[in-house]
Structure 1
């Protein structure tokens, strides 16, 4: 089959590899209904994460089960499933505590930018729908696998509540999903920090009440002006740079909460600033499995349309063009037709 392989920074190829096979009795093989490119895929693509050997790319997935291992009990061939980018058994103490992304058997999904994928720990990772959904719902369900689940976790970790004021730092796909999540959780005011007109428009569509294009001290001043000098109750950090963390910390009110889901690169903290700033912080890899049943249900009932975040669709064979488009910010998120 054709699959996406990153050979070195900037060198992404769609090339023939062997079809995946059952390796463990807890595995499942799925035929993907669609795949996509994640913002975090750009870190190794840009050379900001080491690439010491060819990497099989892709960790967002949904599709139909075609084969299962001998010990798989909760899914069966023919079922449509969505899985988390974090593989988990969903039974260990961390999973039962709601943090499946810290499962004692955790793996990170890979190789999903392809027509077929092997999913380890299928019972704990995959959630099936009652019936195979219509094709128009596939982008929405694909988004649940990571980008919506991660944006949702950012809002959950930031303790977004009914009537709260929220600032979202980052206007990529995760940040936009954070806006959607904050709206669904009942936030009264949602400030999206964005400089790009197309992303501002989508943020408004997902529920943003205000747009702040400024950054640094000017951006903080604008947020403080919007909040009567107080700052935000909840801040969603959806980038992972020192600049974005500085923005998040400065926009949060004393006693406010920051949910951080951007993979950190070059981030360090000043203990004195944290101590006297009195900010709560929770984040890390999103425990998407915790949210999958609820988010899938919202999609299937037509309550949310997270698939709108895909603003470019390409065939898998043109995946290199998709990476280039996202790297150059000509696309928010690329859906790959497999």
Structure 2
């Protein structure tokens, strides 16, 4: 089969012919890949920053069809995740970017990205999905069966769900592998953090965390500014755009007042974000203020908005120390920084004393994409105005290309010359 392969030490992408993967364990599935995507996380290894020194197949976002199943699958698989009983050859599936068993304590709690038996696609540990076929270990706990939507929860009715699955393009459904769940995860962590609750509830800390209304004490009433969420999103690549759309939708749904500044140093990404925002229907925008700025302009606008106090919460969607420094500079005392960018070896760019002096809370780490799938799916259906097309100014996906374009696509994506790229392995 054809596969996109990375060669050490860096910046070396080749399309090669390798053996089609086979079933190795009873819980395995083999998926014929119909589409695979290029993600910002792929760039860490591409640049030689991932601590990887072995040739391997790239990619952790893919959608396809089941062509082979291990012996664990069938009606005999009682007491296990539903997919072990009902997944069939021919079913259409999308995979989260990490494998997870779906059965252990960690998975049962919903923290599927850190399953002890987990692995990340597109690494020497687990060959990636930028290939014509891919092996999925623990597939019954990992995959989403798009041919049988009864295996996940949703706020949509069964009729709406079936209609959505029939009408959504594979290029749109592919976003469920990583970027959309990760964007939803970033937004969800920010607005549900305990330190954000005084602004949302209109009650001071710690009364905002109690269930009762209580009596009035020595507290002074909140002002309009006190009740307005001031938020920053750092990084407007594909995940940053997904986080922005998700955050806007959540704030609109809950009818919360807000001010958001979306930040990126690259003008083309800022223009993409502006086009996406313009295309979002009114139901997904809310009644707050959303602006897009460069780094220096963003610092000034936050200072102006808050009188120098800073943001209620900052979403960091880049994965480098300069982005974290900016997040720390922008966030208020008793604020929240939610970081879903993939960080490498350099130490965090602030000291314990700095963290102490601001009472700042940090949420770091990988999105549990398997657990986030239902919320991401519902948002995907709602926001087809921006998630439904390819190649338009407001489309999250810029290009659909063949494998022969792989090396150039990696180069252009790394340089910020192109946004989301999807590969067709059979083109």
TM-score by length of 1: 0.92
Alignment CA distance shift 1:211-1:297 (3 Å): closer
Give, in angstroms, the shift of residue 10 of structure 1.
1.4
Q: Is the 8 A contact 1:156 1:259 kept in 2?
A: no
Greater mean alpha carbon deviation, residues 262-271 or residues 139-148: 262-271
In 2, Cα distance between equivalents of 1:87 and 1:34 = 18
Q: Is the 8 A contact 1:148 1:177 kept in 2?
A: yes
SS of equivalent to 1:311? strand
SS of equivalent to 1:33? strand
Write the deviation string for residues 46-101 of structure 1: whole angstroms up to 9, x where unpaired: 22223322121011111221221111314222222122111111221111222111
In 2, Cα distance between equivalents of 1:59 and 1:93 = 24
Q: Higher Cα Rg: structure 1 or 2?
A: 2
Q: 1:1-338 maps to which residues of 2 (within 5 A)?
A: 1-8=1-8, 9-72=10-73, 73=84, 74-110=86-122, 111-130=128-147, 133=165, 137-159=169-191, 164-186=229-251, 188-204=258-274, 205-206=276-277, 209-215=290-296, 219-265=298-344, 266-268=346-348, 269-300=350-381, 305-306=386-387, 308-338=395-425
In 2, Cα distance between equivalents of 1:301 and 1:101 = 25
In 2, Cα distance between equivalents of 1:281 and 1:75 = 39
Q: Which runs of 5+ in 2 are unaligned?
A: 74-83, 123-127, 149-161, 201-227, 253-257, 278-284, 389-394
Query: What is the aligned residue count?
Result: 336
Q: CA RMSD in A?
A: 2.2
Alignment CA distance shift 1:322-1:303 (3 Å): closer
Give, in angstroms, the shift of residue 301 of structure 1.
5.7
In 1, Cα distance between equivalents of 2:386 and 2:336 = 27
In 2, Cα distance between equivalents of 1:175 and 1:285 = 14
Alignment CA distance shift 1:90-1:116 (3 Å): same
Write the deviation string for residues 232-282 of structure 1: whole angstroms up to 9, x where unpaired: 222111111111001111211222221111111323230000011111111
Alignment CA distance shift 1:301-1:327 (3 Å): closer
Q: Is the 8 A contact 1:170 1:194 kept in 2?
A: yes
Q: Is the 8 A contact 1:158 1:281 kept in 2?
A: no
Greater mean alpha carbon deviation, residues 62-71 or residues 156-165: 156-165
In 1, Cα distance between equivalents of 2:385 and 2:142 = 23
Q: Is the 8 A contact 2:184 2:375 kept in 1?
A: no
Q: Is the 8 A contact 1:166 1:182 kept in 2?
A: no
In 2, Cα distance between equivalents of 1:115 and 1:301 = 31
SS of equivalent to 2:239? helix
Q: Is the 8 A contact 1:4 1:14 kept in 2?
A: yes
In 1, Cα distance between equivalents of 2:250 and 2:383 = 16
Alignment CA distance shift 1:240-1:155 (3 Å): same
Q: Which runs of 5+ in 1 are unaligned?
A: none
In 2, Cα distance between equivalents of 1:55 and 1:135 = 35
SS of equivalent to 1:158? helix
In 1, Cα distance between equivalents of 2:363 and 2:133 = 34
In 1, Cα distance between equivalents of 2:385 and 2:139 = 26
TM-score by length of 2: 0.73
